[in-house]
Amino acid sequence: MQSWGCLRPRLCEFFLILVHQEPYCKLNVSKEVQEKINKLSMMEQSLQSFLAQKQAFQAQLLEIESALEELKKTDKAYKIVGNVMVASDKEELKKDMEKKKDITELRIKNLEKQEAKMREKTSELQSEVMKDIS
């Protein structure tokens, strides 16, 4: 997995400086380039959103996997309904947890695909902007 870490925010900051044409930045950019830079900034925000969602689903997946491991170790099973813990059929609970696990894994894969497409588009647009400003 490629980490954009510190590089991406700095590039966006640089591009935003170009858009706003701060006094210390002497480059003149066209409206078209400004729009591309704004779009790039929005795309970066979308990438951050994908990352946050993916992390939330990964945390949920870890909880589900942990619960499934605990189910293997016990004869009795309970589930929480509202604020109450009630006895539950172990096999039924296991099926429910497996189903939730499958759905969560599917959501993570879907987010990863969306993230990859967005990264590709972002990279292309970034290249365009760099070409336009040089």
Task: Tell me the per-residue pLDDT of 77-119, one tens digit each, with 9 for 90 and over.
Answer: 999 999 999 999 999 999 999 999 999 999 999 999 999 999 9
Domain that holds residue 69: 7-133
Measured at the CA of 45, the angle between CA 42 and CA 50, to 5 degrees, comes to 130
In a domain, 71, yes or no: yes
Tally of domains in the chain:
1
Q: Output the domain CATH number for residue 79.
A: 1.10.287.370
Residue with tokens 């006094």: 23
Residue 2 domain-assigned (yes or no): no
- What pLDDT, on the 0 to 100 scale, is given for residue 1? 39
Name residue 133's amino acid: I
Q: Look at residue 100 and tell me if it is in a domain.
A: yes
What pLDDT sits at residue 9?
Answer: 53
Residue 126 resides in a domain: yes
Tell me if 1 is assigned to some domain: no
20 vs 6, more confident: 20
18 assigned to some structural domain: yes
Q: 52 to each of 84, 107, 119, how far by Cα in Å? A: 30, 13, 15
| Contacts of 52 by beta carbon, 8 Å cutoff, 6+ apart | none
